[in-house]
Amino acid sequence: MSATIYTCRSPAEFDEAVTQASKLLRNGKLVVVPTETVYGIAINLALRSAVQEAMELKHIKTPAPWVVHLPDAAATQRFLGKIPPVASRLIRKCWPGPVAFELPVTPEDRRKLTPLVGAATADEMTQGGMMNLRCPDNAFTHALLSRVKHPIAILGAGKGTAAHSADAIAKTISDAVAAIVDDGPTRYRKASTVVQVKQDKLKVVRPGVIDARIIYRMADLTILFVCSGNTCRSPMAAGFAREFLAKKLHTRPQDLADHHVLVLSAGTGAFSGMPATADAIAAAAELGADIEAHSSQSLTGELLRRADVIYTMTKGHLKEIIEMNPSVADKTFTLDENGDVSDPIGSSRENYRKVAQKIHALIAQRLDGIEL
């Protein structure tokens, strides 16, 4: 008996497809659904009969770890108690989207999983002490996963190769599943990228839609400090931040990049290639930061987009940044919540010390609770 076909051409058809597909999945039936990369067989992992049916349909004797598909990032908490900070950053930046994550599973996570799916499926989901999770960027599948509260895996439905449209679904599959949801051609013709994260180390284990180079860049926690000329205040702030974060990570400031932490500084009116002023270098050194190698740079749109958080020395700098790129407003703050950090340029060495001491104290306040 051939599958029932549901389309999503109108809001009414979309709602009907979600309603019927969710009902079928809850009852242990197999349904082919779209994602942004492929069409795949949705499987209710809470029902062993559905898992076994999918394995027989795909001629799988020993399954690879099931890829659990989630409606949103918050749903990871159903399965994993703690996620490495690097993975959390990538999830925020990549989901929903064509990236799957292999994440470590603790013994406690494994114990909580068994009542949800049974021991056999839990073993398959946590092979090698890792679990595979993905949050697809497809409106239908997002609605379906939000409606069905059981863990759902999606397994490719192509004819030996990936199915990028409903027409490309293998006949053996279309004849066996309960329903097929046709949402038109997939957005991408590549597979999702698969990223493995253990502690603060990541590895792209399968290249896909998102290039590995971009994944590694997105994994960085990038903190940007902004002043005017980028020769006094923001270099001192960056120097103090590197020292502070290195101590939190039990490493050296020069090795922060190995932990996917970048601390940058720039100026709204800076000339490129200028060193920090001698007084700034001396004031920073008195408080334990070495900024002798600093080279100034002008603030750019790329720096603003790349940063995860931006701290400005004054409200004026903050206003300039938001005028430059309004989309960064929610991640841009003055370093001092209660006012400006005055510019010491041209003033006495003692004034530099006072400014440096203020910045040093503010860095400790701002970065104390930051997740690394």
202 and 226 fall within a common domain = no
Contact 163, 38 (CB under 8 A): yes
Handedness of CA 242, 245, 247, 253 (dihedral sign): negative
Phi, psi of 299, deg, nearest 5 = -65, 130
217, 244, 262 - which closes a domain: 217
Token digits of residue 330: 């929610």
Q: What confidence tens digit (pLDDT) does each residue in 201-238 have?
A: 899 999 999 999 999 989 999 999 999 999 999 999 99
Whether residue 131 lies inside any domain: the answer is yes
116 and 81 fall within a common domain = yes
pLDDT at 1: 55
257 and 346 fall within a common domain = yes
Degrees to nearest 5, angle at CA 52 with 100 and 133: 10
Q: What are the residue numbers of the active site?
A: 227, 233, 343
206 and 65 fall within a common domain = yes
189, 217, 245 - which closes a domain: 217
Provide the domain count of the chain.
2
Token digits of residue 144: 């379906």
Q: Which residue range is the domain that position 212 belongs to?
A: 4-217
213 and 233 fall within a common domain = no
Token digits of residue 192: 């999702």
207 and 241 fall within a common domain = no
179 and 53 fall within a common domain = yes
Q: Which amino acid is at 203?
A: K
For residues 363 and 245, what is the distance between their CA atoms, to the nearest angstrom?
Answer: 10
119 and 255 fall within a common domain = no
Whether residue 95 lies inside any domain: the answer is yes
- The CATH number of the domain holding residue 284 is 3.40.50.2300
SS3 67: strand
pLDDT at 151: 98
Whether residue 168 lies inside any domain: the answer is yes
**Ranges of the chain whose pLDDT falls below 70:** 1
Whether residue 205 lies inside any domain: the answer is yes
Whether residue 327 lies inside any domain: the answer is yes
Whether residue 372 lies inside any domain: the answer is no
168, 190, 217 - which closes a domain: 217
Cross-strand bridge partners of residue 224? 264, 310
247 and 213 fall within a common domain = no
Whether residue 149 lies inside any domain: the answer is yes
For residues 275 and 239, what is the distance between their CA atoms, to the nearest angstrom?
Answer: 13
23 and 65 fall within a common domain = yes
180 membership: H or E segment, kind and range: strand 179-182
Contact 194, 208 (CB under 8 A): yes
For residues 322 and 330, what is the distance between their CA atoms, to the nearest angstrom?
Answer: 10
pLDDT at 159: 81
Q: Which amino acid is at 96?
A: P
**What CA–CA distances, in Å, run from 100 to 89, 205, 210, 287, 354?**
14, 10, 11, 43, 48
- The CATH number of the domain holding residue 53 is 3.90.870.10
Whether residue 279 lies inside any domain: the answer is yes
20 and 146 fall within a common domain = yes
Q: What are the residue ranges of helices labelled H in 118-250?
A: 119-125, 139-147, 171-174, 212-219, 233-249
pTM of the model: 0.82
181 and 154 fall within a common domain = yes
pLDDT at 183: 97
